[in-house]
Amino acid sequence: MDKQVDMRRVQELVADLRDPRPGIFYGDLLLSAGLGWACFAGAMQPGPAWVRGLAFVAAVLLLYRSLAFIHEIFHQQGMNGFRRTWHALSGVPLLIPFLLYLPIHQGHHNKQVYGTAGDGEYDQFHGRAGAAIAKLFVLNFALPLALWVRFALLTPLAAVLPPIREKMIPEFVHMALRMPFRAPAIKESARAEAMRIEWWCCAWAWALVAVGVFAGWSWVMAWAALVIAIATLNTIRALGGTHLYVEAAEGRDARGQLLDSLNVDSNGLVAVLLCPVGLRFHALHHVAPYLPYHAMPTAHRRLMAQLPAGSEYHQVTVKSLGEGIARLREATRAVSPPAETA
């Protein structure tokens, strides 16, 4: 039986699932962000340490989920009102707006760029997976300060010093896995909105200073701990539920991206919490990137049931994040480094 995935057949099986349902998007975001910030505030109130600790953990998980909509925003860019709502509830308060992600992700889905040195969401783990993974976790601890400097200092400085806008900002803070990496320019059509959001982030960054001065620096430290915890959860997800990180000299088409990606076929608590908003199905996403997150479980079940048993799609599906990490380590031990290009 042929194991190779028929991409045309995949498209046919999921064609009816491509329309986003705004009610699901808004309800999920409002509940996640609203409860998340309420839990964060609760964690800062006087009371038993274990109660405050549980409230903080709940805040991390809920706000991690709300922030994860940044990925859906890229692929459902017609939902302008939802993007503005997301910025107000998650992107700006966490200082991780869409403008940090947009130029990185648009290259990741380009078949000429995917998995190459030009892909900011990719890195070469061959022969150094342990060191590369450790670097990712360590960098998370610098993220709150880096985000504050990016918006509180570099945004106003860039308004009067063009070299900061043209050179320093693209190389300083963005949502790239690969470091160092120079982010490409945001497309002209998105620049006006990105600039407005950037100044809102600048205002919030300085508001954090005011909070520290007038309400106590414990609030600011808790905000920083929140950002670090969210980034750490995302790192774990990226290692166990996205790609195998075997860099190549040339890009890959949809089938090549499928074979380099993973689905986490689990309804277990860990997978659901660490891979929210459709992120359990990353291989499926690279086959049908237009699918909204709420349609992905149905699409995955269809493909698992109707594609031939043992197909390539079945082969890239794992049962847990732990199995995904094991796949990554196996793949990065087994390959040779990418060939040098002239």
Q: pLDDT averaged over the chain?
A: 92
DSSP count for the chain of H helices, then E strands? 18, 2
In a domain, 340, yes or no: no
- The 10s digit of each residue's pLDDT in 112-166 is 999 898 898 888 887 778 888 899 999 999 999 999 999 999 999 999 999 998 8
pLDDT at residue number 228: 98
Query: Residue 334 — pLDDT band, cuts 50, 70, 90?
Result: low
- CB within 8 A of 243, min separation 6: which ones? 115, 122, 260, 261, 262, 282, 328
In a domain, 2, yes or no: no
C-alpha distance from residue 177 to each of 103, 133, 294 (Å): 13, 10, 26
In a domain, 124, yes or no: yes
User: How far apart are alpha carbons 233 and 253 in whole angstroms?
Assistant: 29
- The 10s digit of each residue's pLDDT in 55-106 is 999 999 999 999 999 999 999 989 999 999 999 999 999 999 999 999 889 8
| Selected residue with higher pLDDT from 54 and 171 | 54
What's the domain range around 96? 7-334
User: How far apart are alpha carbons 118 and 136 in whole angstroms?
Assistant: 18
Tokens of 292: 């909204």
User: How far apart are alpha carbons 245 and 114 in whole angstroms?
Assistant: 11
In a domain, 304, yes or no: yes
263 in helix, strand or coil?
strand
The distance of Cα 161 from the centroid of its chain, to the nearest Å, equals 31
In a domain, 341, yes or no: no
pLDDT at residue number 2: 60
In a domain, 1, yes or no: no
In a domain, 181, yes or no: yes
In a domain, 103, yes or no: yes
Nearest to 85 by CA among 163, 145, 133, 33: 33
pLDDT at residue number 342: 40
Domain count for the chain, please give it. Answer: 1
User: How far apart are alpha carbons 51 and 298 in whole angstroms?
Assistant: 37
